[in-house]
Amino acid sequence: MDIEKIAKAIEIDAGETLPGIRESLQEMVDGKSVDVHTPEQIMLRATRKKLGLSQLNFAQLIHTPVGTLRDWEQGRYDPPGSVMCLIKIADKRPEVIKEVLL
């Protein structure tokens, strides 16, 4: 299995680089993966970490209960489109989020 080829195809389909996708694919091949990570989960967690915020602080920033944020990050529920729009802005332009919300 060519992990790099598969990862590139997934990223082309998603229209963006997906942090952790290659590692997840390798875990799958190795039989270590039992969790499914969606692009939304990966982006949400990576963006929160890029901003240097804990789950609690990030949840407060976006006016969302921390339990809801955990559910999104753990894949129990998908975040709504409006949240993903905000996450994409925060990922591409973290200075805007910091300027407006912090």
pLDDT in tens, the chain (102 residues): 799 999 999 989 888 888 888 988 888 888 875 667 788 999 999 999 999 999 999 999 889 999 999 999 988 888 999 999 999 999 999 888 878 876
pLDDT of residue 35: 65
- Token pair of 59 as six digits: 């949840």
CATH topology (fold) of 39-101: 434 Repressor (Amino-terminal Domain) (1.10.260)
pLDDT of residue 7: 92
DSSP state string for 30-85? HT---S---HHHHHHHHHHHHTT--HHHHHHHTT--HHHHHHHHTTSSPPPHHHHH
pLDDT of residue 82: 93
What residues does each domain of the chain span?
1-37, 39-101
User: Does residue 20 come out as left (phi exceeding 0), alpha (psi in the -120 to 50 range) or beta?
Assistant: left
